[in-house]
Structure 1
C-alpha cells in the first residue's frame, strides 16, 4: 500500500496543490493499519501539495485519529470525504444499505473539525429506488443540511448503474434507472450561488481504467445534450452554474420528469424490490421466512417526518419559455 502511493507520487510530472489517497476508509486500522497510514502521510508531507483528501466512514472518524494525521502531515490541510450519500437516514439505509445515522455524521464532523481537519460530504444525485423528482429533492435538502452540519464542501455525483452489481440487478428487475444529468443540473440550480464555489462534481463522465465495469450512461433528456454537458463541465471548472439554469425549462425534460414519476409509495416500491431481489439471489424461502419482519422494520422507520420530507416541497422545474 505504501509502495503504491510512492509509485503514484513518483509518476506525477508535477505535484498538484491537492492530492487524494484512494483507500475507501483511510482511518479504519483494519483497512489501513496505523503504521502504514503514518508512512503514507509522511510521503505526502514530503511533497509540495497543500491539501490531502481521503475518504473515511463516519464511524471511524475520531478526534485522536484525525489529530494523528494532522501531526504527520506537517502543516498541510487534511480534508475527510464522508460517503454520506444523503442526509435522509431512511433512504440511506433502505435505498443504499448504509446503516449509520445523522447523529453519527454530526459527531464525525465535530471530531474532525475540532482536531483541525475539514469535511466534504459526498452526496449522490439519484439514490436507488427513488423517482427522479424524489432524487432531486433529496439531494437539494441534503446539500443544505450538509452545510448546516459543518461540511466545508459537498461533492455531487450522479448514480451510475454498473454491471455485476446489486443495483444492476434492480435495474434489470425494473426497479432502478439511471438518473439523468439534468437532475444534477437541477440540484445545482437550486443551491444558493454563493455556495457554488464549495460544490464539486464527480463521475459526470466515466473514468475508464483497466478492468472497469460496463455502466449505463446517465441519460440527457434535452433538445441539446451537448449544451448540458458543456454547462456541467463549465461549472466543474469555474464554479459558475448560471448556464445550467437556462437549460432546465426544456420541454423534453418536463416530459421526462412526468414520465419518471411514480404513483406507488416509496415504502411499497422498496418492499417490492427487496422481495424480488431476495427471491433471485437468496431463493424464495428467505423472503417467506423473513419478509414480514423486514416489512415491519421498514414501515416502522418510515416515520411521519420522513414521509413529510419525501412528499412535501418537491422541486419546481421552470416551465419552458
Structure 2
C-alpha cells in the first residue's frame, strides 16, 4: 500500500550555485553527515573557462557540458541512473510517483515557462522531486527562483506533466544539446563508506594554491581543460567587478561571487574537520582564519548586491577585500598543506 503523503529527506546543500552539484548534495545532506568528509575532499579546486562561470572541479568529467549530469556519479553514497525522458511519454507522472514511493529522487527536465509563477517564457531547466501529496495532487520539489535562489515548492501533477512534455520539446528543438531531455534518479546508499583521503586532499589544495591545472592529473581518462585554475580565478573576479563598474551587467557577478563564498565556507568546514580529527593542531588557527576569509567573501557579495539598487560605490573596497583575503588564504592554506605533508 502506497502512502498518501511522502516527503524524502533533504537539507540545504553546501554548494548551491550549480544545480548538478546542488541537487545531489541536498540528497546527501538530508541523510546526515556521513558523506561530509567525502564532500570536503572533493569540492576543493576552482576553475573558470572563457565565457563561463566560476565552478568547482569536483570530477574529471563533470566540467564537460555533455557529461555535466555525471557530476556526482562517483560519490560512494549515491547511485545515479539516467533515463531518456522521452521514453516515459504519458506515463511520466506514474513513473515519478513510483520513484518517490521507493525512496528515489527523480530530477527531470522541464520548461519553466509552464510554471504559473514564472514569467521568463520558455526555458529548459531541471527540478528535483522530493515528495508527494496524493490527496492534494501535488509534488514537492527543489528548484531555483528567478533570482537563482534554491527553495522547495509544491507543484500540481498536471503542471509537472505539462512542463515535462514541454521540456522534452524544447530539448529536441535544441539539437546541440543532445544529452537532453534526461531524467536522473538518485538513490542514497545508507551502508556506504569511504576512507578520508588525506593525500588526495593535499594534492587538490596544492593545485589550488599553485593555480595548477588539475585536469592534467587525469589526462588519460578525461580531456584537459583550458581554464584559469585555483587562486588565479581571483584576478578574473576582480576584472569582472571592474568591468561591471564600467557598464557591464552586474548580474553576471551573482553566481561567481556566490561560488567564491561557498568555496571559502567549505574551506572553513574542511579545516575545522582536520582539527577535530587530529590532522591539524588547533593552535595553528587555520579554522579561525578560514572563518574570517569566508566572512570577507560574504561581505563582498553584500556590497555587490547594492549595485542592483544603483549604488556602484565601493569597487575599490571590493577589489581590496578580494586581494587581501586571497593573500591570507595563500598563507593559511599553505601552512595547512605543509603541516599535513
Q: TM-score, normalized by length of structure 1? A: 0.31
The answer to which structure, 1 or 2, has the higher relative contact order (CA under 8 A, 6+ apart) is 2
Q: TM-score, normalized by length of structure 2? A: 0.29
